[in-house]
A and B are shown apart, each in its own frame.
Chain A
Amino acid sequence: KAGVTQTPRYLIKTRGQQVTLSCSPISGHRSVSWYQQTPGQGLQFLFEYFSETQRNKGNFPGRFSGRQFSNSRSEMNVSTLELGDSALYLCASSLAGTGSDEQYFGPGTRLTVT
Chain B
Amino acid sequence: DAKTTQPNSMESNEEEPVHLPCNHSTISGTDYIHWYRQLPSQGPEYVIHGLTSNVNNRMASLAIAEDRKSSTLILHRATLRDAAVYYCILRGMYSGGGADGLTFGKGTHLIIQP
Contacts and interface: CB of A to CB of B under 8 A. Distances in A.
Contacts of B103: 45
Given A43-B44, A90-B43, A96-B97, A103 B102 contact: yes
A42 B104 CA distance: 8
Contacts, number: 71
Contact of A98 (B31, B36, B99): B99
A65 to B, nearest CB: 16
Contact of B34 (A90, A96, A102, A105): A102
Given A42-B106, A99-B31, A104 B46 contact: yes
A90 B45 CA distance: 12
A102 B98 contact: no
Given A90-B43, A106-B43, A107-B43, A99 B91 contact: yes
A45 B102 contact: yes
Contacts of A43: 44, 102, 104
Nearest to B97: A98
B109 interface: no
A56 interface: yes
Interface residues of B, number: 25
20 contacts: A33-B101, A35-B101, A35-B102, A42-B106, A44-B104, A45-B103, A47-B101, A55-B97, A56-B100, A97-B97, A97-B99, A99-B92, A99-B93, A99-B99, A99-B100, A100-B49, A100-B93, A103-B102, A105-B45, A107-B42
Interface string B32-64: 101010000011111001010000000000000
Of B30, B100, B105, most buried by chain A (CB within 10 Å of CB) is B100
Contacts of B106: 42
